[in-house]
Structure 1
């Protein structure tokens, strides 16, 4: 399929019609090699079965570039400050991954996440209090991102006055495209320096937060190193609010495009938990899983892949595959939850899935209850998608509602 070789997955033209493109690719080229000019060749995998295979098979499709060679890992890792913040479980496989996951699971517990629910509700209410009198709001910048950054910052124990810095750092880290190397290096260095200082503060005087728990976590004498601590905290901050905020934006956009569904959920808030699963499936904020490295010559989807090549599993496409869900292009929040891959699958299944679900449920129920007659300002076609590799979410989502 010739056009697949030069597709720009991050362009406005592609993002505005992403699911039409994915349907075509699943049919004609479910596994294809793309090499736009000046970029590394990458295999893209769009069919649900092949995506699941990639996510479950860390022997052939690794997250850790060291599985190819130390030289390859050094090339992919960037400079020292960048590598220092990439020493987390998402970039490890096998026993290295299992060790990190066990340690982090001892600190990032379901009990700690569930204890945040009343606070998440308070934050959502306060953000709408601030916008309420006007009857106007940008869901992205005034609701979704503030909500998610406050939640993850409070969970970790990051002081309120430092949240703007975290937002700036995480934006640079997830975007990368369009920023020069010196700017990224400075961002990573600032981030790492801040993390190290915060870790030392919590070592000296632990508090009731996740950073303190991560510092103190131990299993059979095994603890997290400084680089592992910094990297894990950075991962939680970036992934913990970028993906949640974009998913809130996606979900609100979908409900505005489906007003009968919006009314249905507004009148039946208890049904939101099931609706969240359908919204996650229909338009996930994680459009593509993190890049994998092919560790051996192998076959996938009828294609021959070579050791050392790069591979992307397109989660957004897999979630709309008829093999995974009947009538996948219909948004039906009343149907029994279809299986989806919005949080991945296998060893690297998203650690923060429970927190993300909780934030999305609370954010939507609060918005629908507090904002009667919610409407999009402008046309659906005027909404633009953020230029962020791997993630999908609107740049802005201005809405209005009736004010008594």
Structure 2
């Protein structure tokens, strides 16, 4: 495929980034790997795309992940978070710098362990099986809305210990907030407030009546007399929702699409189940569920030979970095036997995704049971008919499939 000549000013709202963005990412890597682009509100930001540059920037303390320090963009407004609850969505380890980040992550990492994830694996398998039982006899389903979304949200509810009587409200409001569905955008403000009230109520309930769940652990965790405040626990729950639901929905929907649209790769997995783990990694590399990570320059710095002024917004293009030919051989090919590793779908540095092990466990279980329980599984529409999420969150809105 011949590269296209990029316009002098790239606009993040244009079709270049939302129709066939991987062609654009390829051309950006070749022509302008560090370039200024126009953001949705008209301001200019920097887009960084080379693997080595993105990886280095993710670990650079001069690039802040704290929205309060971003004087160029109002990220809360961009996500339509009401001002009266915005602070509760931003007081967590992901949206903080050192030393606050280290303090918050220390509390959570002690509870978000492989032991807890491994203990949850049988329940993940049980939830997956129950969902498949619900539609296996229909011979046709939308894997995003009937499978990926309820699986990821139910797992988070189980992990946090959301009571059964609250889960329907939790699912409804969380869906309005964390799943990028244009039809639900007008409900965002009220849903943010409703979800905030529900989560704060759960936190206070666990303060009075602790249980064996992660939320109780977060409420009760202490270190040398220090503890998480109520606002920090509430914000941590929102982080788990945002990072653990929408990204997992995107990963599961995209992964199913990739496997079903690459029958030769699918046949290899069916013949050798040990290929499932590397297949999950290749899904994450090939179509990262989050394409962009945003940072704020605290001081002047240089990235890829380009001078970045202080207070600039820097967007780190994880999706382009994961297809950088300088890092990956034949990067535009989906190959489940790939062994290079080092994709950046879960980030890098101090903000490396704490839920990576949980996401991998869900994907491995979901894909394994899908392929074993639904013989002859295939796409029920042509690939060009699929509608994909925008705003740099990669995943199909719907994924109609059928089976024998």
TM-score of the pair, normalised by structure 1:
0.91
CA contact (8 A) 2:144 2:398 kept: yes
After superposing the two structures, state which structure 1 stretch, 198-207 or 38-47, moved more: 38-47
1:27 aligns with 2:40: no
CA contact (8 A) 2:160 2:213 kept: yes
Call closer, same or farther: CA 1:177–1:275 in 2, change over 3 Å. closer
Secondary structure at 2:223 match in 1: coil
Aligned to 2:159: 155
Q: Which residue of 109, 116, 121 maps to 2:113?
A: 109
Call closer, same or farther: CA 1:202–1:264 in 2, change over 3 Å. same
1:254-298 CA-partner distances (Å, limit 9, x unpaired)? 111100111211232232112211111111111112x21111122
Aligned to 1:51: 54
Aligned to 1:128: 132
Aligned to 1:297: 300
CA contact (8 A) 1:284 1:342 kept: yes
In 2: Cα distance, 1:32 partner to 1:175 partner: 29
1:218 aligns with 2:222: yes
Secondary structure at 1:116 match in 2: helix
Secondary structure at 1:299 match in 2: strand
Call closer, same or farther: CA 1:55–1:110 in 2, change over 3 Å. same
1:349 aligns with 2:352: yes
In 2: Cα distance, 1:9 partner to 1:281 partner: 24
Aligned to 2:399: 397
After superposing the two structures, state which structure 1 stretch, 309-318 or 332-341, moved more: 332-341
Q: Which residue of 308, 311, 317 maps to 2:314?
A: 311
Call closer, same or farther: CA 1:245–1:33 in 2, change over 3 Å. same
In 2: Cα distance, 1:198 partner to 1:258 partner: 44
Shift of 1:85: 2.2
CA contact (8 A) 1:156 1:210 kept: yes
Q: Which residue of 257, 264, 269 maps to 1:265?
A: 269
TM-score of the pair, normalised by structure 2:
0.91
Call closer, same or farther: CA 1:332–1:241 in 2, change over 3 Å. same
Structure 1 unmatched runs, 5+: none
1:254 aligns with 2:258: yes
CA RMSD of aligned residues (A): 2.6
Structure 2 unmatched runs, 5+: none
CA contact (8 A) 1:5 1:35 kept: yes
1:96 aligns with 2:100: yes
Q: Which residue of 137, 142, 148 maps to 1:138?
A: 142
Shift of 1:336: 2.0
